[in-house]
Amino acid sequence: SRVTSNKYVATPRGVFELKYFFTSAIASAAGEGEAHSSEAVRHRIRQLVEAETAQAVLSDDKIVEVLKRDGIDIARRTVAKYREALRIPSSVQRRREKQMAHRLSAGA
């Protein structure tokens, strides 16, 4: 925002741009002024991916649908950006990894 742009704070750990200290917000699907922090949305994405099974791997579009049902209005591109920042592979890669792990555990 204009309020925090080009403004800096000197701290014992160095000089930081003021906006460094704030998180961005994701709009609520209800549109009633509620918002979700980007960190909370990333945490929810990680939870969804960790709960996947080999038979039900979520694509970015499916993650968007689940988040929308949870009241989080977010674009697929944003989900992809957050997923990549969390170092979570694409749904295709995750499906292959889970199927391979399932085959290895079934054969052992």
The 10s digit of each residue's pLDDT in 43-98 is 999 999 999 988 899 999 999 999 999 989 999 999 999 999 999 999 999 999 98
Domain holding 47, by residue range, is 25-107
Tokens 């929308």, residue located:
68
Whether pTM > 0.85 for this model: the answer is: no
53: DSSP letter: B
At 25 the three-state DSSP class reads: strand
Cα(31)–Cα(71) distance, rounded to whole angstroms? 9
pLDDT at 33 over 60: no
**Structural domain contains residue 42:** yes
**Structural domain contains residue 39:** yes
Greatest CA span in the chain, whole angstroms? 60
Tokens 């980007």, residue located:
38
**Structural domain contains residue 11:** no
